[in-house]
Amino acid sequence: MMDSMNPLLDFSGLPRFDAVQPEHVAPAIHQLLDENRTLIDTLVAPETPATWDRFVQPMLDAGERLSRAWGIVGHLHSVNDVPPWREAYNALLPEVSSFYAELGQNLALFAKFKQLSQGDEFSGLSPARRRIIENDLRDFRLSGAELPEERKPRFKEIQEELSALGAKFSENLLDATNAHAEWIEDESELAGLPEDAKAAAREAAAKEADDARRGGWKFSLHAPSYMPVMQFCDNRSLRERMYRAYATRASEFGKTEWDNGPLIERILALRDEEAAMLGYASYAEVSLATKMADTPSQVAAFLRDMARKARPFAERDVAELRDFAGKELGLEKLESWDIAWASEKLKQQRYSFSDDEVKQYFPEHKVLAGLFRVIESLFAVQLQADEAPAWHPDVRFFRIERDGRLIGRFYLDLYARDTKRGGAWMDEAVTRRRILNGVQTPVAYLNCNFPGPVGEGAQMRPATFSHDDVITLFHECGHGLHHLLTEVDELPVSGIHGVEWDAVELPSQFMENYCWEWDVLTGMTAHAETGKPLPRALYDRMIAAKNFQSGLFTLRQAEFALFDLLLHGAPEGRKAFMDLLAEVRAEVAVLLPPEWNRFPQSFSHIFAGGYAAGYYSYKWAEVLSADAYEAFEEAAKDCGTTLDPATGERFWREILAVGGSRPALESFRAFRGREPRPDALLRHSGMAVAA
């Protein structure tokens, strides 16, 4: 029975962020865990038939209540990581992890699913329901259901410890990021830095309690503060200090309790043990069991092929940069903290614009209007501002309608905060599924870490976003659309659920392409001071610069992905993770960072996210997304715009609407009429003629 006093147990509508408090977590989650365990005891009883309605559906209903409540807790841990929420989350994390580990190992449940899959009812189920059962059988095997009973407790311990280590990895990184600040007293030391970045740094300093600091500028390692310094500030000493602090976060060079190095070693050891227990040669094989790619060697070949094609372009990029830095900037040796700065100078000289100049044309309100126009034009929906309780005053809420009917809603949390984990991500609050009185409307969280407005009242300057920020926003909205525009009514394959991990980036990377279309940018730009739209001449220079250093970027992605894949490869003879990274860089990279760079200690994707042995997914899905976007480019030859509603409807029906109800490759074939090809990606990246 629902405790109406506990907002985490209220599933009647949206999350009650105006009411939920850390003290609600333990009672709510304990109650839901107890309810799920009691139900499972009933479901595995011999008298419960192995049918969809009597066995699967009740378990899905109960599981959704738990995942929704725990999802709210996890979300608040990510966006409001203050001590009470951190403590509440970490206190229950072992119990929740333990429950899911128990669930995956429950042999009686596994037997019931096998019974259902072999029974008369199975062939009469919808394709979506058959896929759910097949996925569940696979996941039971991957969760250790077929292990000997005496080995299951150890497997369960591994899952619980990995969950705790992932949370600790993120917390260490956030704490280490927050711990470092650079204070500047003399404005002359900030030459080259854009005015809005200086204003934000002055505002950050003014918020400090130490009155002696109020006259200066404070810079942090959070991206909106860190990136402008590295890209624009002429003060090489400041860039070096910030780079060193950033590159050594959560490592042995800082506080011992924040060092992620030992956590990495432990995570890898546990993943190795898990893989061995399941009968796999490596954790990479475990990871690929749920992906489009078949084997680690196939993925490695894909990455090395991309690196081979990109290398000539990357070598040219580096040679040009070093030559420019020596002749024009007086840098005899190009250091890691010079690369972004020198690259920006070279780009300005070559294309006669700076990223900061472009940024002035992307005020937040115009960016959102342009994004919404793209979505509305492609997918025949309407987006409107809405109201709902949120976790921070800056968060906004929107609704999506089609033909006057509500089909989805989402929260938009754009700005960086000290209590918010870094990066950008989409997560689900509510997933579409069929319920007794109709269809449950999906709800998403879209989270970014952009610079916010500066100043107060009449003096406030609205937030302006870099073009890279705009691309990030479109990317996360692609994930959101995948979740919100689904037409699948079965939760385990609705939206992003059940989609192979290396295909889940297809919609997000697809949406990025619109950030380069003239007929899109003309409607989403207005200079922060003059209100004038982006000039065509500046746009043309942006397009000319689009693939500036694309070879370097591709090699960087290949480096990260290959390191991840090999790190999770066969454990016998595996090198220490820093030695392995050095080996990968020797094979792939053309720019080598300092020996003391500790990139792995902040590689949250693979140690605290879901990308272990799966970081290659970004490049893999980029092949799919570029090929899919080529269909819109082909349509534009006839209709004059890539915002073609007919092609958009096909993309929606064959990719977004079907979610995980069928294999991603089938969905791609249904949309494109053929197998995916890498040609479009190489062309989009300016590497079509690569050897």
d(CA 249, CA 506): 31
Active-site residue identified among 102, 171, 476, 622: 476
Q: Taking the C-alpha atoms of 386, 389, 390 and 394 in order, what is their torsion angle to the nearest 10 degrees?
A: 60
d(CA 419, CA 21): 16
Q: Which residues pair with 181 in a beta bridge?
A: 220
How do beta strands 405-415 and 443-450 pair?
parallel
b vs e for 102-117, b when ≥16 Cβ sit within 10 Å of the residue's Cβ? bbbbbeebbebbbebb
Q: Are 509 and 685 in contact (CB under 8 A)?
A: no
CA 483 to chain CA centroid, nearest Å: 14
Q: How far lies 279's CA from each of 33, 112, 143, 162, 276, in Å?
A: 30, 23, 12, 19, 5
Is there a catalytic annotation at residue 476?
yes
Could you tell me where the beta strands, DSSP code E, fall in 274-391?
382-386
Q: Are 59 and 43 in contact (CB under 8 A)?
A: yes
DSSP assigned state of 678? S
d(CA 371, CA 364): 11
Q: Are 577 and 584 in contact (CB under 8 A)?
A: no
Which residues, other chains included, contact 27 with Cβ-Cβ below 8 Å and sequence gap of 6+? 3, 6
Alpha-carbon torsion (498, 448, 643, 292), positive or negative: negative
Q: Which residues are catalytic?
A: 476
